[in-house]
Amino acid sequence: MSLTLGTGPLAGQPGGAFNFDLSGAPAHRIFFADYPRRLRALVGEHVALDTTRGKLLYETGILPVPYVPLEDFDHELLERTGHTTHCPFKGDASYWTLRAGDEVLENAVWTYADPLPAAPWLRGFAALYWKLASAWFVEEEPVLGQLRDPFHRVDVHESSRPVTVRANGTVVARSERPKLLFETGLDPRVYVPRADVAAGVLAPAEKRTICPYKGQATYWSVAGIADAAWSYDTPLPEAIKAEGHVSFDAEGIEVDVGEPRAQLTTA
């Protein structure tokens, strides 16, 4: 999620309320923001780009895309092509193939040499298709999955709300000590301690997913329902409080969250 997805302020149907009228604003919104972190992309063993002057381009319904000054690409790896595409919001894009040793990535880098008047700040910047790079680094840390959006947050809170989880009508978990995970643009998620899940209802599944904000998720079948639960065995720092907990969501799964305790306890 980001500014431009889900209920983000630049999304198609933003959540919340504004003190101005969006009725006259374009349906497709664009935001070009500074990204001062050092960003590098490797293609094979070659550094294709290395910058501390990057930008993030946000567009309604699209994950943010890093754009880099053209000078910060290794031009010895770039070969101009005749390929072009047109964007009604940004203009005509021209492309380069990226050749690094045995790696040849056709039309992997693009730029808007003469952007539309609504997006003049794109001039002089270029982008590399994220998934074509062998690896990305922010400062000295490898990027896990997609680039993290600086406007995206994950918060995990202890809760006193009683939780009951049912699979096809049968209770498979009860907890008086769940964790609630709040993530930008997404509905809150309930995480239940593994100890509060009934014995024998979880079976390991092969599915794995990667979240750049929470880490790698391991999935579980629940009472015969495939991939109906997941957990983070080694969560990233933002989600560390969800370690040892399981969240549930699938057809046939019901998660009921009751009212919190009336009395506040500080112990």
- How many other C-beta atoms are found inside a 10 Å radius of the C-beta of residue 157? 11
Pairwise pLDDT comparison (121 vs 29), residue with the higher score: 121
Residue 258: what residue type? G
**Which pLDDT score, from 0 to 100, does residue 93 have?**
98
Q: What is the CA radius of gyration of the chain?
A: 23
Residue 54: what residue type? G
Structure tokens at 188: 């809150």
Q: What is the pTM of this model?
A: 0.83
Mean pLDDT over residues 52-80, rounded? 96
The tens digit of pLDDT for each residue in 55-64 reads 999 998 899 9
CATH assignment of 154-257, given 1.25.40.10, 2.170.150.40, 2.40.110.10, 3.40.50.2000?
Answer: 2.170.150.40
**Which pLDDT score, from 0 to 100, does residue 266 have?**
58
Q: Which helix (H) or strand (E) holds 144?
A: none
- Cα of first residue to Cα of last residue in the chain, in angstroms, is 35
Mean pLDDT over residues 63-70, rounded? 96
Q: Give the three-class secondary structure for 138.
A: strand
- Whether 30-142 shares its CATH topology with 154-257 is answered yes
The tens digit of pLDDT for each residue in 97-156 reads 999 999 999 999 999 999 999 999 999 999 999 999 999 999 999 998 899 999 899 999
Handedness of CA 183, 238, 62, 18 (dihedral sign): positive
**What ranges do the domains of the chain cover?**
30-142, 154-257
CATH class of 30-142: mainly beta
